[in-house]
Structure 1
């Protein structure tokens, strides 16, 4: 039989279906939805209705003690800091509307950098719009294609992102393990550019790095050293310069990265260094060059705060007292903490799984205490915790209240017997 095709129809060509860009998040979305269906609150969607002081806020109409901020030195409500911000706001306006390398450098930005140079005893300082950008910018600019960044496996996301932006080869070593650091360095080409990145205090577990051991190892292999002191500025060391100062290796560190959003009490980031070419980085550091500069009021508050932190010895001492008292009290109640002894202003209370962590977090909030709930990937794999961040403005009475709240919430959720 002969078949003609003149009346045959050609099957319509179907348009290819575009991939759902959210599909990769499906497992996390299901996990979150399942958890919220049990009736617990979303620990990542808290709104502060009012902030009364560095240690008190109103959440859902209820007075709440804050134990989950980075306000380590309590500078957010310092009268001198607030007054400096108001004066700059009225004199210079709300913002600069420009990059630091164009119209965005005011006298306040230079004053802030001069305060940082004095605080750290360094020759050069660069102020960034955020602490994240400081790491992103300096790491990506120093270490490019063909260079190596050797970093702690638990490094902050901004450090990892700096590696990706600069296209450097990433070499990880085991967390706070000097032997593993040396093993990794020994395998790298001697002539290659190398940047070892360390953190003074690691923000999730609150543990400190053995910089006095690791920095000399890095120098032995010809590497530059960058130390992120974001969570240690203000209360480590004789002058509050961080763990590098406390452990006596400041003179061997090439770059110190820090932030204004912790002990300084505002927002912004910085890099300080004695390297003679540091100022040249302003022209080649993309996150610095292509970002609007901080508003004048912000750098004014930062400058005032930094200068006051130079003479904050009593605050530092009280913060350490708070850390020791709370750490001991939580352990006595039966909670498991990430460190055997208090190592910083961060105390991490470990819980067995996400559901237990969220229920404990909610029970504390209902008691009138706010802490951070943290889970992977912000924490190491399989680690769920409540992160308590102490403040120099917490009173001894508040610490006792906090312990009472932990005891009640722990028993209510079965976290302690």
Structure 2
């Protein structure tokens, strides 16, 4: 007998996809009744920041994160077209090789001006910004204390960096302090928070949490992806709104929300920050953003500095939709509107999918969010408002939700 396989024997075949079988079955069950795929919608034409053609009909967009409606801003589009003419379609290189054009320096300067900080570093996506910054500054022997509801990109950055990860209950200041108290005083510590949490649209008590973090000698990183451009007097996010931006060591953000294009960034006042350009692997080993993208981002960011009227209108939209859906009988993720995200809690995934499809037939697109991405295994219909939604559109949306809720039995007749 031998442990070696003979010529006629073959090793047992292990299907590496078998781990996904429960998800495959869930998707099959959802689509077995002929229902539209809630995770595969195709937009055939986009007319404006708030309207697209889906399945051949005009549809109101309420699930795009296009908070400030900058995707069709004439100045933004013109800047992108000009950059295409002047610099071509792409850089074909990393930022540390041939991938730094004048536009990349310009967008980083715009970010420094926007936040009033000394350093800015732009990544190809917001996901890469978290992945790169977190994994580079917190490594083996360091500790990361983070909110349990943190975005997937934050968790992945922690895993890649090999630091000791210590989660705490969502938005619980006392639980956060308890974790920090147990960490050796001499250890490197990074506290990671988000301004707005994307699933329920709730905000963090940043001012109190940052004070606790500093008490224990921790550095602080705040992800403001869902608040930049909208929250705060100048649109700098929740940290600005709570008057603690100066206490934040690193702000992470994205261009794919309020800025209206694609890309990610980190801004900081740390005097040694520029070394990150040589040691951060997701920055060093990734092709840089196309010149047309950074041109649109620069123009958008500079316009967002003076977008007070848009911010005020978006707040009105958020308050109106939150109240309208609550009055109609829906369960909302927050007691009061806290951001541009309004999360409508569904009884279960099956009902949520049915409601999503009923809304699409009404002419409204929202996001269906499901476990494990959602907190407490909830199924959500996540609405993200835009500053370009008119007051009339918001009223239309409330009517669509009410009719769909009754048709699916989620609301009483």
The question of a shared fold, defined as TM-score above 0.5 by the shorter chain, is answered with: yes
Deviations 1:395-417 (A, max 9, x none): 00000100110011000001111
Distance of 1:340 and 1:39 partners within structure 2:
36
Q: Which runs of 5+ in 2 are unaligned?
A: none
Partner SS for 1:105: coil
Give the structure 2 partner of residue 395 of structure 1: 390
Shift of 1:28: 1.2
5 Å-filtered alignment, 1:310-389, equals: 310-389=305-384
Aligned positions of 1:24-173 closer than 5 A: 24-173=19-168
The alignment partner of 2:43 has SS state of coil
What is the CA deviation profile of residues 158-211 of structure 1, one whole-angstrom value per residue up to 9, with x for unaligned ones? 000001111111100000100000000001111111110000000010000000
Number of aligned positions between the proteins: 408
Instruction: Give CA deviations for 1:250-295 in whole Å, capped at 9, x if unaligned.
Output: 1110000000000000000000000011111000000000000000
Which residue number in structure 1 is paired with residue 286 of structure 2? 291
Distance 1:11 1:118 in 2: 69
What is the DSSP-based 3-state SS (H/G/I as helix, E as strand, rest coil) of the residue aligned with 1:225? strand
Q: TM-score, normalised by structure 1?
A: 0.97
1:227-261 deviation per Cα after TM superposition (whole angstroms, max 9, x unaligned): 00000001111111000000011111000000000
Secondary structure (helix, strand or coil) at the match of 1:318 reads: helix
Other structure's SS at 1:49 match: strand
**Structure 2 partner of 1:264:** 259
Structure index of larger Rg: 1
SS in 2 for 1:196: strand
User: Could you say if the C-alpha distance between residues 11 and 281 of structure 1 is closer, same or farther in structure 2, counting changes exceeding 3 Å?
Assistant: closer
Question: C-alpha separation between the residues in 2 aligned to 1:16 and 1:104?
Answer: 46
In structure 1, the partner of 2:217 is 222
The Cα shift of 1:13 comes to 5.2
Structure-1 separation of matches of 2:197 and 2:282: 23
Q: Supply the distance in 2 between the matched residues of 1:34 and 1:75 (Cα, whole angstroms).
A: 38
Q: What is the CA–CA distance in structure 1 between the aligned matches of 2:26 and 2:66, rounded to whole Å?
A: 31
Match of 1:18 in 2: 13
Structure 1 position 18, deviation (Å) = 2.5
Q: 1:235 aligns with which of 215, 218, 230?
A: 230
Runs of 4+ aligned structure 1 residues displaced above 2 Å come to 10-14
**Alpha-carbon deviation of 1:14?**
2.5
Deviation at 1:31, TM superposition (A): 1.5
TM-score, with structure 2 as normaliser:
0.98
Report the 3-state secondary structure (helix = DSSP H, G, I; strand = E; otherwise coil) of the residue aligned with 2:375. coil
Tell me whether 98-107 or 15-24 shows the greater mean CA deviation: 15-24
Counterpart mapping for 1:164-203 below 5 A: 164-203=159-198
Please give the secondary structure, in 1, of the residue aligned with 2:186: coil
CA distance in 1, matches of 2:151, 2:143: 17
Q: CA RMSD in A?
A: 1.1
Question: Secondary structure at 1:348's aligned position in 2?
Answer: strand
